């Protein structure tokens, strides 16, 4: 789009013109039916920043591979908080042979009868590997007790063991980052509505999701207990304001890049 047409709507700086005429800027420009320069600039800036951070993630992964490092990143939060979308942006350009995304289904009969942490231990990274848990062992801290998927005793045992488990994991030369994606009740309702209306996304709605709004307060109670008990100096929680997906993704990647001492 010509500079004359753009400046007709707003006095743009040279930097803003350059951003709009970039590949991310032009994509944002043609994606929107109505010309909204403010929105185009926001989207173009996000895409530009995301691309730069994804380039750094490639460098980080190269360091992990060459140095034989192990990284575990947990993504927790309410249903529809944007955990999966953040993981997809993080892993979009890194080498798929050296990372895993783990999103475990309902435990099998064998898994129910073994030590709770065992099925997660089986998915931990080998040297030179990164593992992203889309929900993790913290299911037992919130989702399971709220939905009566575990007994009170199983919940108490988990809460008494989890900090020691994570300490052992970290002391075995593994980097551990715990993200919690936080959204409001209104934002969750809005996203559920969008999912239900989309023929490409309806499959994402589960029976647990269907009850999430009605059980909002119960989730809050157990979430607070989880933070109080498991936010430790050695393994702290990183709370991400996820009401806006784009900024949540940038904050998440930024924290990873700042926390892992890659060269």
Instruction: Estimate to the nearest angstrom the gap between the alpha carbon of 117 and the chain centroid.
Output: 21
What is the C-alpha separation between 233 and 9, in angstroms, rounded? 51
Q: CA nearest 138: which of 190, 83, 92?
A: 83
What pLDDT is stored for residue 4 in this prediction? 45
Q: Which residues of 144-162 are buried (b: 16+ CB within 10 A; e: fewer)?
A: bbbbeebeeeebeebbeeb
**Fold observed for domain 68-259:** Rossmann fold (3.40.50)
- 128's torsion region: left (phi>0), alpha (psi -120 to 50) or beta? left
Q: Is the pLDDT of residue 70 over 90?
A: yes
More confident of the two residues 114 and 16: 114
What is the C-alpha separation between 147 and 208, in angstroms, rounded? 8
Give the 3-state secondary structure percentages of the chain, helix then strand then coil, rounded to 5: 60, 10, 30
Model confidence at 21, in pLDDT bands (50, 70, 90)? low
Model confidence at 39, in pLDDT bands (50, 70, 90)? confident
pTM: 0.88
Q: CA nearest 161: which of 111, 107, 118?
A: 118
């Amino acid at each position: 789009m010509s500079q004359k047409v753009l400046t007709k709507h707003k006095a743009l700086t040279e930097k803003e013109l350059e951003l709009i005429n970039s590949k991310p800027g032009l994509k944002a420009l043609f994606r929107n039916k109505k010309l909204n320069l403010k929105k185009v600039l926001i989207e173009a800036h996000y895409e530009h920043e995301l691309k730069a951070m994804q380039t750094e993630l490639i460098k980080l992964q190269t360091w992990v591979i060459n140095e034989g490092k192990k990284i575990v990143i947990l993504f927790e939060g309410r249903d529809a908080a944007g955990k999966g979308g953040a993981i997809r942006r993080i892993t979009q350009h890194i080498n798929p042979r050296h990372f895993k995304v783990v999103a475990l289904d309902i435990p099998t009969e064998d898994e129910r009868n073994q030590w709770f942490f065992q099925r997660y231990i089986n998915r931990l990274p080998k040297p030179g590997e990164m593992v992203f848990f889309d929900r993790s062992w913290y299911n037992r801290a919130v989702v399971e007790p709220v939905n009566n998927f575990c007994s009170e005793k199983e919940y108490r045992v988990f809460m008494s063991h989890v900090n020691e488990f994570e300490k052992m994991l970290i002391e075995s030369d593994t980097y551990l980052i715990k993200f919690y994606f936080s959204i409001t009740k209104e934002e969750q309702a809005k996203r559920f509505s969008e999912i239900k209306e989309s023929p490409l996304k309806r499959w994402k709605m589960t029976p647990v999701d269907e009850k999430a709004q009605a059980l909002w307060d119960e989730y809050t109670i157990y979430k607070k207990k989880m933070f109080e008990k498991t936010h430790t100096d050695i393994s702290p929680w990183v709370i991400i304001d996820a009401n806006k997906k784009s900024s949540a993704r940038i904050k998440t990647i930024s924290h990873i890049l700042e926390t892992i001492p890659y060269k």
